[in-house]
């Protein structure tokens, strides 16, 4: 502790606005013990308080500070105004978030869980239409955004690929965006060029969500990844502050890790170990942004080194479709996150994540299927979290988050209790 015990305790009582008696009761100790800890250092009766008490007091004070911040933010207008992009209700980058606003979004995602788990239904977006414009391959992002919108009562219109869109006839981003805005109430756009979704967003005043712009960003994926980490950590009794995160694979072109490292950097005292094949390292501009907040960032090409001590192992696919002059065909076997290496070097309470899809072709050496029955593998729980998080994004951007709670009705059909055949393996931990 850098300040004296006496100052630390006094400060805590002041911040919590509690008297000595109430404070002693709050932290579960005898008033007499507290009195001895509050005596000036060196006095005969003075005693050192146990480490566990000091940690508990720190936690209470930090929680209180967070609650105050939330209360303040509640007074400063709706979340969509606080995370707006150029004054519009659009989601282009994780840079739009602070730690407080991201946690506020997650409280809304928590409210969506009964709908995502098929226990309740809601119609708060009844009549609204979503345009899903995907000019690049997608399964999860396109379908989960669509399903999230439908589960809030809205409807979805999809278009996929350039071939079947008027862009193949030379239509500009501006024209496409403006025309679509006359048809739908929100747009989710994926496009192979970095910065292109921001161009769509400029040409309209309706909510636009970046569903992935080339090697740029994938903000909704990073939000659901962070939500997954926090959920898994609370199950494991861990805090994100002070955690060790390993990111493995194509960190150069992988947009999910670009967004995720920036979002994680909103937390405190993190250690990042970035494990990438030569030539596929994280770009400097992202490292600079994440590094500004004083986190430790180490780069290595040794997977064993990267896994050691990591609380989160985030594996990614080699983005061959974005390669310019790289010769690499995929990972060498040395980069494969598999059961043998995780058992040997990883923590027993690590969580293993991947934005998916994983490349299951021979020789790809992406995240191995031999971890499928390992409870550390969180990839399907992670993908499932795409629904509540994307519902929360829609609810916020369209301003209906306050209506959800009272709109819930019971489902009328019977969903299976475990949606995947292997889910029973994880039963009791999620």
Please report, as ranges, the residues that interact with ligand ASP according to CB under 6 A.
Answer: 212, 218, 255-256, 317, 355
Q: Tell me how far, at minimum, the Cβ of 350 lies from ligand ASP, in Å.
A: 21
With CA atoms as reference, report the closest residue to 404 among 95, 125, 20: 125
Q: Which is nearer to ligand ASP, 254 or 306 (CB)?
A: 254
Residue with tokens 């100052």: 7
Whole-angstrom distance, CA of residue 224 vs CA of residue 240:
15
Q: Which is nearer to ligand ASP, 218 or 390 (CB)?
A: 218
Q: Which is nearer to ligand ASP, 217 or 311 (CB)?
A: 217
Q: Tell me how far, at minimum, the Cβ of 172 lies from ligand ASP, in Å.
A: 24
Q: Tell me how far, at minimum, the Cβ of 131 lies from ligand ASP, in Å.
A: 19
Q: Which is nearer to ligand ASP, 54 or 385 (CB)?
A: 385
Contacts of 113 (CB under 8 A, 6+ apart): 388
Q: Which is nearer to ligand ASP, 103 or 136 (CB)?
A: 136
Q: Tell me how far, at minimum, the Cβ of 70 lies from ligand ASP, in Å.
A: 31
Q: Tell me how far, at minimum, the Cβ of 319 lies from ligand ASP, in Å.
A: 6
With CA atoms as reference, report the closest residue to 108 among 159, 132, 75, 74: 74
Q: Which is nearer to ligand ASP, 131 or 355 (CB)?
A: 355
Q: Tell me how far, at minimum, the Cβ of 91 lies from ligand ASP, in Å.
A: 15
Q: Which is nearer to ligand ASP, 12 or 353 (CB)?
A: 353
Report CA dihedral (365, 369, 371, 374) to the nearest 10 degrees. 160
Q: Which is nearer to ligand ASP, 108 or 254 (CB)?
A: 254
Q: Tell me how far, at minimum, the Cβ of 10 lies from ligand ASP, in Å.
A: 50
Whole-angstrom distance, CA of residue 191 vs CA of residue 203:
15
Whole-angstrom distance, CA of residue 277 vs CA of residue 248:
9
Q: Tell me how far, at minimum, the Cβ of 200 lies from ligand ASP, in Å.
A: 17
With CA atoms as reference, report the closest residue to 342 among 331, 353, 332, 328: 353
Name the residue number minimizing CB distance to ligand ASP: 317
Q: Tell me how far, at minimum, the Cβ of 90 lies from ligand ASP, in Å.
A: 19
Q: Which is nearer to ligand ASP, 252 or 317 (CB)?
A: 317
For the chain, how big is the Rg over CA atoms in Å? 24
**Is there a contact between 201 and 174 (Cβ–Cβ < 8 Å)?**
no
Whole-angstrom distance, CA of residue 392 vs CA of residue 174:
28
With CA atoms as reference, report the closest residue to 221 among 257, 183, 181, 184: 257
């Amino acid at each position: 502790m850098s300040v004296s015990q006496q100052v630390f305790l006094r400060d805590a009582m002041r911040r919590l606005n509690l008297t000595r008696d109430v404070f002693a009761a709050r932290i579960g100790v005898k008033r007499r013990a507290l009195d001895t800890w509050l005596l000036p250092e060196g006095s005969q009766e003075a005693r050192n308080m146990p480490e566990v008490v000091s940690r508990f007091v720190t936690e209470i004070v930090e929680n209180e500070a967070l609650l105050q911040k939330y209360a303040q933010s509640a007074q400063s207008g709706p979340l969509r105004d606080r995370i707006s992009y150029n004054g519009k209700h659009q989601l282009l980058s994780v840079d739009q978030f602070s730690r407080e606003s991201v946690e506020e979004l997650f409280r809304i995602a928590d409210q969506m869980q009964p709908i995502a788990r098929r226990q309740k239904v809601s119609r708060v977006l009844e009549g609204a239409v979503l345009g899903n414009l995907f000019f690049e391959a997608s399964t999860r992002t396109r379908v989960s955004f669509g399903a999230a919108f439908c589960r809030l009562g809205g409807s979805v219109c999809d278009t996929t690929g350039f071939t079947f869109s008027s862009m193949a006839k030379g239509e500009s981003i501006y024209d496409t965006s403006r025309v679509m805005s006359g048809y739908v109430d929100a747009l989710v756009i994926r496009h192979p060029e970095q910065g292109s979704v921001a161009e769509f967003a400029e040409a309209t005043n309706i909510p636009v969500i970046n569903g992935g712009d080339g090697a740029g960003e994938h903000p909704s994926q990073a939000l659901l990844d962070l939500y997954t980490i926090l959920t898994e950590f609370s199950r494991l009794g861990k805090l994100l502050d002070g955690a060790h995160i390993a990111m493995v694979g194509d960190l150069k072109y992988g947009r999910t890790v670009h967004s995720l490292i920036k979002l994680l950097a909103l937390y405190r005292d993190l250690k990042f170990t970035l494990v990438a094949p030569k030539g596929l390292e994280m770009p400097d501009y992202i490292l600079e942004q994440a590094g500004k907040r004083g986190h430790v960032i180490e780069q290595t090409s040794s997977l064993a080194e990267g896994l050691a001590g990591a609380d989160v192992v985030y594996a990614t696919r080699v983005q061959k479709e974005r390669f310019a002059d790289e010769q690499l065909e995929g990972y060498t076997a040395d980069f494969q996150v598999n059961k043998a290496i995780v058992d040997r070097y990883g923590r027993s309470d690590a969580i293993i994540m991947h934005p998916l899809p994983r490349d299951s072709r021979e020789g790809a050496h992406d995240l191995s299927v031999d971890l499928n029955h390992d409870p550390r593998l969180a990839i399907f729980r992670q993908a499932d979290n795409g629904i509540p998080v994307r519902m929360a994004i829609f609810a916020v951007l369209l301003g209906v988050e306050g209506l959800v709670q009272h709109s819930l009705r019971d489902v009328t059909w019977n969903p299976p209790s475990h949606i995947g055949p292997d889910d029973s393996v994880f039963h009791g931990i999620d």
